[in-house]
């Protein structure tokens, strides 16, 4: 399948590493805001076409699908224009700025008979199946604590007075939308939508959330979720049941999973997997282009995550230009 990429950052580098491991993947085009950057990136990765005009990318007949890793605020507009041109879309998380945008994007995909898929890495990782299988040993689950704190390399630049996309609300960014979405995606997949959510946040001078968290209430359990782009954590995420506890590190890159049954020694649950785990979302996407039979499962997860993000942003009073 012939791909174009939008976005020339380290995330796209990782995606292309995964593409190199997939026989059905071929990079043919690069889009960037400037032609110089598009050419530089295309030369680095061996792409035939370069674009700084989205309409020209839309018109290119050699491109079957597009991987989008631009700022979140651009996802909906870029995806919609490309889908209207018949391109399949694999879009980085979060797939949209809000649930309204996402539902509009899904309708566009349906109307054009193309595949739209959110590149939410943990949803496609084989480690998710390991976690789901191990939950049967926990008994009734009573408490969940998911945490994802990672000090942003761009925070020092923000403190120095530089305008950076990572902390700019006009690009639909912030700690919740960037890091919290991973925790929410896993939470919904394992436990469904909470009955009640109560969120809070630490905001910067421009109104963007740099850290925060929320409590999610369920019928028989509660969950706490924390996220930060201005501090680091070395703790594990935990799922605690009456008979045992599961622990795993970093929701975006599921690797280490440990099971501790009550009164027993901790077990390391090893999942055979490819080191560059973005290959799993890429292979899933290509398979859905061939057969969309169970794509609705992932769409429902994406919608639920966006609706939860919307609710928390409403509570913490964080708005994006895209909301209007």
The residue-averaged pLDDT of 188-201 equals 98
- Say whether pLDDT at 200 is over 80: yes
Sign of CA dihedral 230, 236, 239, 243: negative
CATH architecture of 123-279+305-323: 2-Layer Sandwich (3.30)
Confidence grade of residue 76 (pLDDT, cut at 50, 70, 90): very high
The residue-averaged pLDDT of 22-40 equals 97
The residue-averaged pLDDT of 22-41 equals 97
What's the CATH number for 2-120? 3.40.50.720
Given this model, what pLDDT does residue 124 score? 96
The residue-averaged pLDDT of 181-187 equals 98
DSSP 9-33: SHHHHHHHHHHTT-TT-EEEEEE-S
- Say whether pLDDT at 292 is over 90: no
Q: What digits encode the pLDDT tens for the residues 240-272?
A: 999 999 999 999 999 899 999 999 999 999 999
Given this model, what pLDDT does residue 127 score? 97
The mean-pLDDT minimum among 75-84, 291-300, 307-316 falls in: 291-300
Alpha-carbon distance of 82 to 104, in angstroms, equals 14
Given this model, what pLDDT does residue 294 score? 79
Rounded to two decimals, what is the model's pTM?
0.96
What are residue 111's phi and psi, to 5 degrees?
-65, -30
The residue-averaged pLDDT of 177-203 equals 98
Given this model, what pLDDT does residue 289 score? 96
Closest by Cα among 65, 23, 294, 316 to 174: 316
**3-class secondary structure, 58:** helix
Alpha-carbon distance of 180 to 211, in angstroms, equals 9
- Say whether pLDDT at 291 is over 90: no
Given this model, what pLDDT does residue 293 score? 74
Taking phi first (over 0 means left), then psi (-120 to 50 degrees means alpha), and beta for anything else, what does residue 223 get?
beta
Mean pLDDT for the chain overall: 96
Strand partners for 216:
197, 223
Higher pLDDT, 142 or 294: 142
Given this model, what pLDDT does residue 145 score? 98
Alpha-carbon distance of 115 to 30, in angstroms, equals 20
Alpha-carbon distance of 184 to 174, in angstroms, equals 15
What are residue 278's phi and psi, to 5 degrees?
-70, -10
Confidence grade of residue 324 (pLDDT, cut at 50, 70, 90): confident
Domains in the chain: boundaries: 2-120, 123-279+305-323
Sign of CA dihedral 129, 98, 215, 195: negative
Alpha-carbon distance of 36 to 74, in angstroms, equals 21
- Say whether pLDDT at 29 is over 90: yes
Confidence grade of residue 277 (pLDDT, cut at 50, 70, 90): very high
Alpha-carbon distance of 11 to 91, in angstroms, equals 12
Q: How crowded is residue 35: how many other Cβ atoms within 10 Å of its Cβ?
A: 12
Given this model, what pLDDT does residue 228 score? 98
% of the chain exceeding 90 in pLDDT: 95
The residue-averaged pLDDT of 31-42 equals 97
């Amino acid at each position: 399948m012939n791909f174009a990429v939008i976005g020339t950052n380290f995330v796209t580098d990782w995606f292309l590493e995964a593409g190199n491991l997939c026989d059905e993947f071929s990079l043919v085009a690069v889009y960037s805001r400037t032609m110089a950057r598009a050419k530089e990136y295309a030369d680095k990765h061996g792409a035939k076409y370069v674009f700084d005009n989205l309409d020209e990318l839309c018109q290119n007949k050699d491109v079957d699908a597009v991987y989008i890793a631009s700022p979140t605020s651009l996802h909906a507009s870029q995806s919609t224009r490309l889908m209207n041109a018949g391109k399949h879309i694999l879009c980085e998380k979060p797939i949209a700025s809000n649930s309204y945008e996402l539902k509009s994007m899904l309708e566009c995909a349906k109307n054009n008979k193309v595949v739209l898929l959110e590149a939410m890495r943990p949803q496609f990782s084989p480690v998710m199946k390991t976690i789901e299988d191990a939950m049967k040993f926990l008994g009734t689950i009573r408490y969940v604590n998911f945490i994802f704190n990672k000090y942003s390399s761009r925070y020092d630049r923000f403190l120095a007075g530089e305008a950076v996309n990572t902390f700019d609300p006009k690009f639909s960014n912030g700690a919740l939308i960037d890091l919290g979405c991973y925790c929410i995606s896993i939470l919904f997949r394992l436990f469904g939508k909470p009955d009640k959510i109560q969120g809070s946040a630490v905001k910067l001078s421009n109104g963007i959330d740099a850290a925060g968290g929320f409590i999610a209430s369920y019928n028989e359990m509660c969950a706490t979720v924390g996220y930060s782009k201005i501090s680091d954590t070395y703790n594990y995420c935990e799922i605690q049941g009456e008979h045992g506890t599961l622990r795993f590190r970093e929701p975006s890159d599921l690797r280490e999973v440990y099971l501790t049954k009550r009164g027993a020694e901790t077990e390391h649950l090893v999942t055979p997997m490819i080191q560059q785990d973005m290959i799993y979302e890429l292979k899933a996407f290509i398979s859905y282009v061939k057969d969309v039979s169970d794509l609705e499962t992932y769409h429902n997860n994406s919608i639920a995550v966006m609706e939860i993000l919307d609710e928390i942003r409403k509570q913490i009073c964080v708005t994006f230009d895209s909301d209007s």
